[in-house]
Each structure stands twice: as structure tokens, then as C-alpha cells.
């Protein structure tokens, strides 16, 4: 067999985000505070120049223990899968050593995201094993500044519900939208094949 | 800043697949031969015990030059994103150093997959920049052996077409289905939160 060095993960966090994760007071007990935290990640990702205006995190649902974070890293890692939600889910699975965050041996987990999932991240949610998704901005808010969010099923919330996943929308939406609008106002790239997210 | 070692990619290939990639005669000029190649990857992934019965590859569309491959690596990498299509797309982007396989500076690319994409992989396709998707087995064939493929929009082919991506279905479907059925017959795990793909 030819030896093969594993490439680094497209979901590997930039150093500022590793620091943020390690210095964060834990747990974060309310939905509002969890959302405030991921909105700050989105804003910091823009400020630090490491990617688009999206942040996400995985928490233990009941305790609010922070398990992992993600920010948009598409440009910096040169991988179109590297959305904030995908990074947070992958990093949580790596941290816990389990591809199923809903495994019987684990407490329930939830994904908190500064913006509703695009078509890819929506599709990834059931496979990840999280049992709850909490969203800030709407997909239409990201589309309003030029991102394509893809075509989800019209009844995407119901499709997640059918798989045992509850969905909360519009939490701190105004604050989440402010990050998107600031990104656009300061000339942030709407990257991709045709202004795609 | 705290130093942080990047984790290895959940899309990193097992050594047998690296060998397969490096020894493959290139280019592969016909659709049938490209599909035969990814079906062999799916079968080898089961045989080698590295994951589920799914294989995929990215080719230069016109020449058939093989750019990257992927197999299902969910269990071995402990990451639920590690479907064959996701791995092939991420590995192609890494190989070419571009998150957009449809960039003006590149020839057009296509994704060839032994089974139709699940909801996540469907959502990832437009962001990847590929311009054509060629599928072997149907999602219903994977569902028939117990995998959940997720809820895509009913008109998912049309949604990809609207974004400039053509879709070919049912190429060598019988051969692709045979790999799925062999996997089930030999007791392959239908892993995940509720028999999910």
C-alpha cells in the first residue's frame, strides 16, 4: 500500500475560533444566549476575514453544555461543503467520537445556527442525530443580500419534525440579519458559482 | 493564540482507495465505463470493510479525466457527512485548489455516483460547481434495503436543471442495485439514527 497523509479537515477551525471555543463560559443555559453566541461567531468570522457571515454551534440540549462550533469556511478551506452548520456538526461528532449525536449512549443534542440551513445543511441534519434546530435569520434574509440557499422541500420543517427533530425559527432574527447586512454593506464576497452560498 | 493541530478530513480515503485512484487507467472516456468504475468502488468499499455500498467520482466532463473519488466513510471517519458524493466533491476541490469546480479557469466537471444523491448530497451539488450528475441506482433502491435517503424536493432534477446542472439517471442501474443487495445479503450495517443513510 502506498502511504497517504490525511489532508486536514475542511471543517478545521481558524485559530481565533479555537480560542473563542476554549474561553467560552460554559454551559450556556438559555436559547437566547446560545443564539447570541452563534451570532457573535458569525460577526467575528467576517471581522477576522475567515469567511462568510454564518455561525453555528452544537449544544447538549438539556444542560446547554457547548460541544462544538462552526463558521463558514468555504473560501479559506476551498471546500464548498464548509458551511457553519456542517462544520459545527462534524466538529461535534469528532469531539464525541460518534457519527450519531443522537446515539443512546449520549445526551440529546441541538444545533443552533445564525441563519436557517441551506438545502445541503437541511439534508445533513437528520443524519447528524441532533434532535432540535434553532435558527436566527431566515433563508430569505440571506437571499436578500445575494446568497442562493438552494431548493429545500416546501415543508422542510415538517420533514424534520417527521424525523423527530423540532425546529425553532426567528430567534433574535433582527440581530442575525444585522450581521448579514453589515457583511453586504462592507463589500463581503457573495462567492460561488452564481452568487451561491 | 493557542496552537491547534488540524484534524484529518472526514473525506480522507482509505489506503486501498488511494491505490485504486493512483493505478486507474486515465481518462475514462464513456459514461458506462465511468459508472462501472464507481460501482466497483462501492463494491470494494464493502469488501474492504471501510463503509457502506456507495461510490462516486468527479471527472472532467469532456475528456473523462478522473479528478477524485469518494466512498461512503461514515462509520470509519465517525462523520455523518462522509457520503461518497460529498467525499468525491471535497477531494476534487482539494485536488484543484478551488471550492468551485465550475470556475471559469477550469474545464467543466461532472459527478458520477453509484446511487442517486440523498437530500444532503443533492443540496451540496450546486455549491460544488459540477455541471452534470450521472446516477446508477435510484434512491428507492437504497430505501428498499433499509437506508433513509431523506426528503428532497419532488422536482429535484428540475431544481438542479434550473441551476445549469444536467442529470442522467438509471445508468447501469441493475449492476448498481446488485451491490446494494449484496451488501444487505451479507449483513452490512444499515447505520444511523433510525436506519438512516
pLDDT the model gives residue A5: 55
Residues of chain A with pLDDT under 50: 1-4, 192-195
Taking phi over 0 as left and psi of -120 to 50 as alpha, with beta for the rest, B45 belongs to alpha
Q: Which of residues 74-113 of B touch A (CB under 8 A)?
A: 74-75, 77-82, 86, 89-90, 93-94, 97-100, 102-103
- Candidates B9, B72, B82, B105: best to mutate against A (most CBs of A within 10 A) is B9
- What interface predicted TM-score (ipTM) does this complex get? 0.95
- Cβ-contact A58, A80 below 8 angstroms: no
- Cβ-contact B129, B135 below 8 angstroms: no
pLDDT the model gives residue B195: 46
For chain A, the average pLDDT equals: 93
Task: Give the CATH class of B15-184.
Answer: alpha beta
Tell me the residue ranges of DSSP E strands in chain B: 55-60, 66-71, 109-115, 132-137, 166-168
- Cβ-contact B151, A124 below 8 angstroms: no
Active site residue A85: yes
Taking phi over 0 as left and psi of -120 to 50 as alpha, with beta for the rest, B133 belongs to beta
Closest approach of A171 to chain B, Cα-based (Å): 24
Backbone dihedral angles phi then psi of residue B53, each to the nearest 5 degrees: -85, 60
Residues of chain B with pLDDT under 50: 1-4, 192-195
Instruction: Give the span between the Cα atoms of A31 and B180, in whole angstroms.
Output: 42
Instruction: Give the span between the Cα atoms of A134 and A35, in whole angstroms.
Output: 8
Task: Give the CATH class of A15-185.
Answer: alpha beta
CB contacts, 8 Å: A103 with chain B: 193
> SS3 for B187?
coil
Closest approach of A3 to chain B, Cα-based (Å): 7
Strands of A166-168's sheet in order across: A66-71, A55-60, A109-115, A132-137, A166-168
Segment A43-94, tens digit of pLDDT? 999 999 999 999 999 999 999 999 999 999 999 999 999 999 999 999 999 9
Segment B105-151, tens digit of pLDDT? 999 999 999 999 999 999 999 999 999 999 999 999 999 999 999 99
Which candidate in A48, A75, A85, A116 is catalytic? Answer: A85
Closest approach of A150 to chain B, Cα-based (Å): 7
Instruction: Give the span between the Cα atoms of B190 and B180, in whole angstroms.
Output: 11
pLDDT the model gives residue B194: 45
pLDDT the model gives residue A3: 40
- Cβ-contact B105, B144 below 8 angstroms: no
A189 touches chain B (CB under 8 A): no
> SS3 for A57?
strand
Tell me the residue ranges of DSSP E strands in chain A: 55-60, 66-71, 109-115, 132-137, 166-168
pLDDT the model gives residue B5: 55
Long-range contacts of B151-160 (CB under 8 A, 24+ apart): B151/A153, B151/A156, B151/A159, B151/A162, B151/B119, B152/A123, B152/A153, B152/B117, B152/B118, B152/B119, B152/B122, B153/A151, B153/A152, B153/A153, B153/A154, B154/A153, B156/A151, B156/B122, B159/A150, B159/A151, B160/B122, B160/B125, B160/B126, B160/B133
Domain ranges of chain A: 15-185
Instruction: Give the span between the Cα atoms of B10 and B7, in whole angstroms.
Output: 9
Q: Which of residues 58-77 of B touch A (CB under 8 A)?
A: 74-75, 77
> SS3 for A118?
coil
pLDDT the model gives residue A110: 98
At how many degrees (to 10) do helices B173-185 and B31-47 cross?
Answer: 0
pLDDT the model gives residue A159: 98
Instruction: Give the span between the Cα atoms of A2 and A152, in whole angstroms.
Output: 41
Amino acid at each position: 500500500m502506498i502511504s497517504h497523509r490525511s489532508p486536514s479537515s475542511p471543517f478545521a477551525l481558524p485559530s481565533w475560533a479555537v480560542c473563542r471555543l476554549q474561553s467560552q463560559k460554559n454551559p450556556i443555559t438559555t436559547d437566547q444566549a446560545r443564539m447570541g453566541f452563534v451570532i457573535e461567531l458569525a460577526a467575528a468570522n467576517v471581522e477576522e476575514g475567515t469567511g462568510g457571515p454564518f455561525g453555528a454551534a452544537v449544544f447538549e440540549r438539556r444542560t446547554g453544555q457547548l460541544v462544538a462550533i462552526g463558521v463558514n469556511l468555504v473560501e479559506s478551506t476551498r471546500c464548498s461543503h464548509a458551511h457553519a452548520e456542517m462544520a459545527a456538526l462534524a466538529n461535534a461528532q469528532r469531539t464525541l467520537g460518534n457519527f450519531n449525536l443522537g446515539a443512546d449512549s449520549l445526551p440529546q443534542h441541538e444545533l443552533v445556527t445564525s441563519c436557517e440551513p441551506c438545502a445541503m445543511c437541511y439534508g445533513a441534519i437528520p443524519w447528524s442525530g441532533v434532535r432540535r434546530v434553532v435558527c436566527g435569520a431566515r433563508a430569505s434574509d440571506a437571499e436578500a443580500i445575494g446568497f442562493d440557499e438552494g431548493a429545500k422541500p416546501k415543508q422542510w420543517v415538517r420533514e424534520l419534525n417527521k424525523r423527530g427533530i423540532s425546529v425553532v425559527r426567528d430567534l433574535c432574527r433582527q440581530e442575525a440579519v444585522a450581521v448579514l447586512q453589515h457583511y453586504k454593506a462592507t463589500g463581503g464576497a457573495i462567492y460561488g458559482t452564481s452568487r451561491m452560498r
